[in-house]
DNA sequence: GGCTTTGTTGCAACAAAGTTGCATTTGCTG
DNA sequence: CAGCAAATGCAACTTTGTTGCAACAAAGCC
């Protein structure tokens, strides 16, 4: 995860013609610090632990929406059907390789060595990202469990 | 979509050592009839329209769970993060090719001509299915909108 | 710097999707 | 056909996400 300079996020917000507010900066900082994409609930927890105090549920949803709108963050669904939010810059690195999803323990493993297919689309279609997910059993669950 | 013989589903349930009940048969018949994977809400609607009368929300959830357990159905998340249920036999055909997901209109297109990658896993991992999703803009949205 | 405007925040209430507990009914087995 | 375990239906609840609205604050203007 890259380390972000102090005023980095504020500059990004200004560049996107979006107001620079404390909640937005807090969310960006938190997402920048996180190793993984976070759910709304996880973000809320983080803020509750911070000295700056809790952040309203709805505000958090709306902040995240605004970050999606201006292209700073992206949203994906996890295995439970819950949205996870991630800085776009961080996400780009993860889109580049396949992921393994264990159907038993739910764990996710990066498959960096696996070849990604080339997009082969009908005329007029534009590809922005390709996601490959392999499902099955991880070493731990295949050996012992189920 | 294949056409299922009269007693087909009952036989499948018996084979899976699961009790043959009216709700389960209704759900299987409905899924067998459907062209696409259905959500819980869509199934409920279908049943409300049927002469046999409505099916309890919770019962429907539990019936679907039991069908997942015994391997007759599968569950995936749609773009909204809602579960969609599908007969396993129908689904197998769809897992074999990549899908295109339009980020603008939300439409899904089958990419039958696109090559699927081979799974390349760490030792001990077992692959059961590979899913490839290309995201971007479909012909309609790339041309006109956004 | 103070003022205005417009977008943002926080609160309350709501909606959709899914889960849990429990009493009753139903399918299967002997 | 009697008994039992499993399945059903009902009510209540949890989690996740959304909408409406009044109070507030950031950015621009004088």
Chain C positions with any atom < 7 A from a protein CB: 7-13, 16-21, 26-28
Asked if residues A114 and B130 have their Cβ atoms less than 8 Å apart, the reply is no
Rg (CA), chain A: 18
Contact A85, A67 (CB under 8 A): yes
Q: What is the pLDDT of residue B1?
A: 54
Q: What is the DSSP letter of A70?
A: T
Crossing angle between the packed helical segments A57-69 and A22-33, to the nearest 10 degrees: 80
Task: Report whether A130 contacts A117 (CB < 8 A).
Answer: yes
SS3 state at A100: strand
Record the tokens describing residue A44, joined without a space. 């809320």
Considering just the CA atoms, what is the radius of gyration of chain B in Å?
18
**A126 against B106, higher pLDDT:** A126
Q: What was the pLDDT predicted at B145?
A: 41
Is the model's pTM score more than 0.85? no
Interface test with B, best of A125, A128, A146 (most B CBs within 10 A): A125
Helix-helix angle B57-69:B22-33, to 10 degrees: 80
**DSSP letters of chain B?**
-PPPPTTHHHHHHHHTT----HHHHHHHHHHHH-SS-EEHHHHHHHHHHSTT----HHHHHHHHHHHHHTTSEEEEE-TTS-EEEEEHHHHHHHHTSEEEEETTT--EEEETTSPPPPP---TT-EEEEEEEEEEEE-HHHHHT--
Helix (H, G, I), strand (E, B) or coil at A105: coil
> Does the CB of A63 sit below 7 A from strand C?
yes
Contact B136 A115 (CB under 8 A): no
Q: Give B81-90 pLDDT, tens digit per residue.
A: 899 999 988 8
- pLDDT of A14-67, one tens digit each? 999 899 999 999 999 999 998 789 999 999 999 998 888 899 999 999 999 999
- Looking at residues B2-31, what average pLDDT do you find? 91
Q: Which residue's alpha carbon is at the shortest distance from the C1' of D25?
A: A21
Q: Considering only CA atoms, which of A10, A12, A27, A16 is closest in space to residue A62?
A: A27
């Amino acid at each position: 995860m890259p380390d972000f300079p102090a005023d980095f996020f504020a500059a990004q917000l200004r560049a996107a013609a979006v107001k620079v507010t404390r909640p937005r900066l807090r969310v960006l900082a938190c997402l920048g610090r996180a190793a993984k994409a976070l759910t709304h609930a996880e973000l809320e927890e983080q803020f509750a632990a911070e000295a700056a105090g809790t952040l309203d549920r709805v505000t958090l949803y709306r902040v995240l929406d605004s970050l999606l709108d201006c292209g700073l963050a992206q949203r994906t669904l996890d295995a439970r059907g819950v949205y996870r939010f991630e800085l776009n810059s961080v996400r780009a690195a993860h889109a580049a390789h396949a992921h393994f999803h264990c159907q038993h323990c739910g764990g996710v493993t990066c498959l960096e060595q696996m070849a990604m297919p080339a997009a082969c689309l009908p005329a007029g279609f534009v590809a922005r990202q390709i996601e490959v997910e392999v499902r099955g059993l991880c070493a731990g669950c295949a050996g012992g469990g189920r």
